[in-house]
Amino acid sequence: MAVDSGLVAADIDLFGLAQIVAQNAGGMVSIEDPQSHVLAYSASDEAADPMRVMSILGREGPREYLAVLRKWGVFDRLRQTDEVIDVPEHEELNIKRRLAVSVRHPADGAARAPRVLGTIWLQQGDREFKPDAAEILRGASAIAARLISRSLDAPSTEALLVQRLFGVGGPVDVATVATALNLPLTGPAAVVGFALTATETAPATEPSALGNMLRLRASSFRNDSVTATLGDRVYVLLPSYKAAHAVTAWTRQLVEQLETKRALALRAAIACPVPELGGVAAARREVDRVLDSTVATYPRGRVTTLADSRTAVLLGEILDLVGTRPELHDPRLRALSDYDRKHSASLRESVDIYLREHGDVRNAASALQVHPNTLRYRIRRVEEILRIDLTDPADRLLLEIQLALHRREHGR
């Protein structure tokens, strides 16, 4: 009978799994990582061969036997298939028969092959394997994959502290974090947030890969820097920086280097000074406000601060608010779109550019490539359809907000 992944206790570890497999399949079990390092094993008896003893004591397989397995193509087969492989005994090395199955992380998609996380080995003892040993190993492989993946994906204690410092995962004891990470509790610090911008030429990049790149470069800039990947953004804390202009210069240089050398389109926002370690979470929220607002303005404002981009930030947040409140959407703008659709006209675009050119008819007409009198006629039709007066500041302001919301929602 197979090891049923639904019946095995949720809190089992690899050692417990190894023992269950040994009891049900007959034999002695070891679980290894892709580099043949022993992760867990079941209890041994007198039938344990030298290979098993040496692997457990040295925490990795003996080189001579690993060479034999490579020669026999065992490792290649483990990488290529999830079937159970029967490895014969090797009398010269005094090594007994084994069954082996790879532990595989499920494929993330059709284009990506499953990742091998390790191997489960079952050494034969004084008795033959039980008839369903292969089926048991296949079930154990699925359970081991979840256990190993969970271990790999679970953040370390340090990573959890860093996440909480940046305001994710619950309350934080700042003094404890400062001691654990050897960070000063007070003194000017800077928080820099980075976000990828989707462009036609930018390669697809996982946030974790970007985080690793930025961690290396931040540590080179300041060896006491702290980096966290949260969602699709990466944040860097630079404690006790010497000068704000140096932080800005480093950030600009980094963004430019990654764009030139790796074709990555990055936006960055800087929050400084952060007077104390307890203010890091608030600084990260400030950085997020800026990054949210610079999506639409890229490449302008690739590296900026809240102070330098306050207009874009506040306008963006006003549009966010209006966008979530249907009662704040002016229904008259729909009439303008309906007119354009019915008459193959472009009144909405014309008034949009007219307002963005501050009511300068000649400049707006030039941008639209029409005669100024044509644009004047269009503006009069807009006023008639919407029943507004574009010489009235209130009407003009409201229409500009509604048109900006339309551009954001429809991309034009």
DSSP helix/strand/coil, 320: helix
pLDDT tens track for 23-36: 999 999 999 988 88
Question: Of residues 130 and 158, which shows the higher confidence score?
Answer: 130
Amino acid at 357: E
| Architecture of the domain whose range is 329-411 | Orthogonal Bundle (1.10)
The CA distance from 338 to 231, in Å, is 40
List where CATH 3.30.450.40 sits in the chain. 14-106+113-153
The CA distance from 336 to 385, in Å, is 7
- Say what angle helices 347-356 and 372-386 make with each other, to 10 degrees: 110
Least confident of 110-124, 287-301, 337-351: 110-124
pLDDT at 44 over 70: yes
E-strand stretches of 249-299: 266-276
> Interior CA angle at 49 toward 45 and 54, to 5°?
100
298: confidence class by pLDDT, cuts 50, 70, 90: confident
Q: Give, in words, the CATH class of 14-106+113-153.
A: alpha beta
Write the CB contacts of 393 (distance below 8 Å, at least 6 apart in sequence): none
Cβ atoms of 264 and 205 within 8 Å: the answer is yes
List where CATH 1.10.10.2840 sits in the chain. 329-411
Q: Give, in words, the CATH class of 160-323.
A: alpha beta
pLDDT computed for residue 59 by the predictor: 61
The pLDDT of 41-68, averaged and rounded, is 81
Closest listed residue to residue 222, CA positions, set 190, 175, 268: 190
Cβ atoms of 87 and 74 within 8 Å: the answer is yes
Amino acid at 266: L
